Each structure stands twice: as C-alpha cells, then as structure tokens.
C-alpha cells in the first residue's frame, strides 16, 4: 500500500502544478486570442518580408532576369517592415506567452501521444520565436555571439517558426473561433467583469508596441528620425549624411589601391575607361534609397553613368545578365550578379557622385552600383569590372 502511494503520480503535483496555483486574471483564452492574433500577424509580416529579401538576394535561376525593379522603394518598404515587425513582435510575443504561461503546468502533463506531440510543437514554436527575435535584433547591431552562420540559420528557423505557427493555429482553431469576438460563445462564458481589464491590458500591449516602434523606426522611416534613440542606425550619421554598411577599411580598400583606376567592361566589344574618361560620359541623376538588409534605409541623390549605356557600348544583348566585380578583396559580396530587369533599368547607375559631391571612399569611390528596389548588399561599391554573361 505504502509503495503504491509513493508511485502515485498525483504526488508529483506540487508548486505551480497544483490546482489553482494561478489565480491571477487575464490568463484566459479570450486574452490569448486577442494578443495572439496580433503577435501572429506581426510574425507573418516578418516571414513574408523575409522571403522577399531572401529571393531578391538569391533569386532562383528562372527569376534572375525578371525580378521587378519597381517600385524603387519596394525593398526599402519590405525590409523596413521586416525589422519593424520583428521589433513589434517582441512585446506582443512576451504578452502572449505571459497570458498562456499557466498552461505550461497543465495536469496531467501528458495525456496521450497526440497531446505530447502538441506540447512538443508548442515548445518548438516558443523556442524558435524567442531565438529568431533575439538573434535578428542582435544582427542589426552586427553582434554574433553564436557558433553558426546567421543568415542561413535565420532562413531555416523562419520556416520552422511559420510551420509551427500554422500547426498551432490549426490545432487551436476551435478555441480561436470560440473566443474571436466579444460576443463569441467562449468569450461570453468568461467573467464579464474581466472585460475592461482585458481591454486595458491590450491597450498596454499596444502602448509597448508603439513605444518600441517610435524609438527605432526612424532608422528607416525618416520622418521619425528625431525619435530614433534606440535604433543601431540614424539617418543623419555617416559620411555625406548617409550610413555605411561596410567601410573601405573593413573591405581592405585604401586610396592607394585606387591610383591608376580603370573600369573594365567585358562583353562582345570589351573596353577600358580611366576615371576621367568615365567622368566625361553622359551623366544621369536619380533619387534612390540605400536599403540595408539590417533594416535601415535612406534616400539619396545619385549621379553617374547608366549601366545600360555602358552595356550598349560593349554590344551586350538586352537580355544579358551582368557580373559586377568590386576591387575589395574577398567577402561574400565582392562579386555580384545583376539580372537584365535591373541592368536595363534607366535608373540603374554606376554612380560617381552622392548628394552633389564625389563619392566618399566609404560609399564606394570612385564608382558604385545604385539600382532601384535592391538590397543594399547588392549595391556593389568600388566597382572595377562589369562583365556581360549571356
């Protein structure tokens, strides 16, 4: 008898596992649905804009020459939203997890194989969401204290996150439906007295989302730049009032490397240009944003030579993809490929000046690529060669 009592699993039901251990308010399904759908929406926006960024940077073969170069601010918007929705998701996810925390101690802990799998999927969802938000935020300050490759892991975990999220929505569909509105059946069964408190809680979560957004969004949404006190970038800080992702020093470029600079264009009719010859070609201007994958962006006035004029002179066909090679040594972005939709765009320039002055060395002096609707890492600096690949 005594032995049976020792093995009785209910004896393990102690601490937070006790019945009624959580007597606080707002840990109910209606609160979970109200906060959860906002958190879910933020994560979905983050996922979709992340996909856009991934495919603009690494297009599948069939898409290389047909990626849209319009709207010019397309990538600025999607990547700004990617980082802003990720930051907004931080208070939303924390509030959602606080609401459902007592369910971590549900009794019995495991009822069946299905129940075990469901709990495992929630553990995966929670862990991956926390890690994605935290490491994404650290990436924006270029801080990588982990032993894996950020970009590819962020990509893989994004799929795990969205998969676990869809699975969670499917499993919880009846609960979500029963608590979707104020007059839904499940909501009406909850204590009516909690209504005003719940709305105050949601307003509080909204205030937190507003606070983290207005203090960071100025790094990409310039009208808010005066409130940008917590973002890793500020639109006014950088050479020629434009931030820089990779400095000349970091890329191993010094003024000495650029003496005797020549631009080489390889194609059916190859040619070389010295800097004075390049500067003497017909100039075109464009207002285009630099939009970094880390979320900051800013518009600037660029002027230089159209890429399509340089390609026409080399006798390149209109459908040609080009390879752009930087003078920088090594680095993942020292060689960049550009599809025909960008190369033929009249706004795509080999820029020689920025905001009315020659490019700063950190902005790619003597010549850099600037193209509409493209990730900043593909706006190659210190361009030494254009190569037509048919």
Partner 1 sequence: MTGARILRWTVGAAGLAALGYGVSTLLTDPQVGDWHGVLRWLVLALLLHDGVLVPVTLLLGLAVGARWRARLRLPFLVAGSLTAVALPVLLRPGATANPSVLPLDYLRGWVLSLAVVGAVALLLPLCRRIPGLRFPGVRIPGGRRPGSGARGGRRTGRRRSGGTP
Residues within window 134-193 making contact with partner 1, judged by CB under 8 A: 134, 137-138, 140-143, 146-149, 151-153, 155-171, 173
Q: Which of 83, 231, 310, 311 binds partner 1 (CB under 8 A)?
A: 231
The overall longest dimension of the chain from CA atoms, in Å, is 99
Q: Which is nearer to partner 1, 215 or 264 (CB)?
A: 215
Strand order, beta sheet including 271-274:
271-274, 262-266, 383-389, 321-326, 335-338
> Counting beta carbons within 10 angstroms of the beta carbon of residue 218, is it exposed (0 to 12), middle (13 to 18) or buried (19 or more)?
buried
- Residue closest to 76 by CA, chosen among 378, 379, 376, 377: 376
Residue 183: DSSP 8-state = T
Instruction: Look at the block and give the residue holding tokens 């509080």.
Output: 204
Q: Is 224 in the site for partner 1 (CB under 8 A)?
A: no
* Contact track, partner 1, 311-350, x by CB under 8 A: ----------------------------------------
When binding is defined by CB under 8 A, the residue of 94, 175, 224, 281 that contacts partner 1 is 94
Q: Nearer Cβ to partner 1, position 342 or 365? A: 365
Identified binder of partner 1 from the candidate list 243, 295, 376, 384, rule CB under 8 A: 243
Among 17, 97, 275, 377, binds partner 1 (CB under 8 A): 97
Minimum CB distance to partner 1 smaller for 34 or for 140 = 140
Angle formed by the axes of helices 74-100 and 29-57, nearest 10° = 150
Cβ proximity to partner 1: between 40 and 372 the closer is: 40
Within 247-306, the residues that bind partner 1 by CB under 8 A are: 247, 249-250
CB of 242 to partner 1, least distance (A): 8
Binder to partner 1 among 110, 120, 185, 200 (CB under 8 A)?
A: 200
In the complex, minimum distance from the CB of residue 152 to partner 1, in angstroms, rounded to a whole number:
4
Of residues 303, 302, 253, 305, the one with CA closest to residue 277: 305
- Helix (H) and strand (E) counts in the chain: 11, 10
- How far apart are CB 297 and partner 1 at their closest, in Å? 13
Q: How many CB atoms lie within 10 A of CB 229?
A: 10
Residue 369 CA to residue 362 CA, distance in Å, equals 13
Rounded to 5 degrees, what angle do the CA atoms 373, 377, 379 make?
60
**In whole angstroms, how close is the CB of 270 to partner 1 at the nearest point?**
34
Closer of 10 and 152 to partner 1 (Cβ): 152
Q: Which of 12, 110, 185, 203 is in the footprint of partner 1 by CB under 8 A?
A: 203
């Amino acid at each position: 008898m005594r032995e049976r009592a020792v093995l009785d699993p209910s004896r393990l039901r102690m601490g937070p596992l006790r019945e009624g251990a959580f007597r606080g308010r707002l840990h109910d399904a209606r609160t979970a649905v109200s906060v959860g759908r906002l958190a879910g929406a933020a994560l979905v926006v983050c996922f979709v804009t992340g996909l856009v960024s991934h495919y603009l940077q690494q297009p599948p073969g069939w898409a290389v020459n047909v990626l849209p170069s319009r709207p010019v601010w397309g990538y600025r918007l999607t990547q700004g939203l990617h980082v802003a929705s990720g930051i907004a998701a931080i208070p939303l996810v924390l509030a959602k997890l606080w609401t459902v925390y007592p369910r971590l101690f549900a009794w019995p802990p495991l009822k069946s194989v299905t129940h075990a799998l469901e709990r495992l999927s929630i553990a995966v969802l929670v862990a991956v969401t926390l890690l994605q938000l935290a490491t994404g935020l650290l990436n924006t300050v270029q801080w990588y204290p982990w032993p894996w490759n950020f970009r590819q892991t962020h990509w893989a975990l994004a799929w795990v996150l969205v998969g676990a999220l869809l699975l969670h929505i499917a499993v919880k569909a009846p609960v979500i439906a029963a608590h979707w509105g104020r007059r839904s059946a499940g909501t009406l069964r909850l204590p009516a007295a909690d209504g005003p408190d719940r709305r105050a809680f949601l307003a509080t979560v909204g205030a937190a989302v507003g606070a983290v957004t207005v203090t960071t969004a100025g790094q990409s949404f310039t009208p808010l730049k005066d409130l940008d006190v917590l973002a890793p970038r500020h639109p006014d800080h950088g050479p020629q009032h434009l931030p820089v992702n990779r400095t000349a020093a970091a890329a191993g470029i010094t003024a000495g490397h650029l003496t005797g600079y020549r631009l080489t264009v390889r194609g059916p009719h190859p040619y070389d240009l010295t800097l004075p010859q390049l500067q003497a070609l017909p100039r075109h201007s464009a207002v285009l944003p630099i939009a970094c994958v880390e979320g900051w962006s800013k518009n600037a006035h660029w002027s230089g030579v159209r890429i399509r004029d340089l390609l026409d002179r080399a006798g390149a066909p209109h459908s040609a993809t080009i390879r752009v090679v930087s003078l920088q040594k090594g680095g993942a972005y020292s060689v960049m490929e550009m599809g025909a939709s960008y190369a033929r765009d009249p706004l795509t320039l080999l820029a020689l000046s920025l905001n009315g002055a020659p490019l700063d060395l950190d902005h790619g002096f003597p010549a850099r690529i600037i193209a509409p609707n493209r990730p900043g890492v593909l706006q190659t600096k210190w361009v030494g060669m254009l190569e037509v690949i048919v």
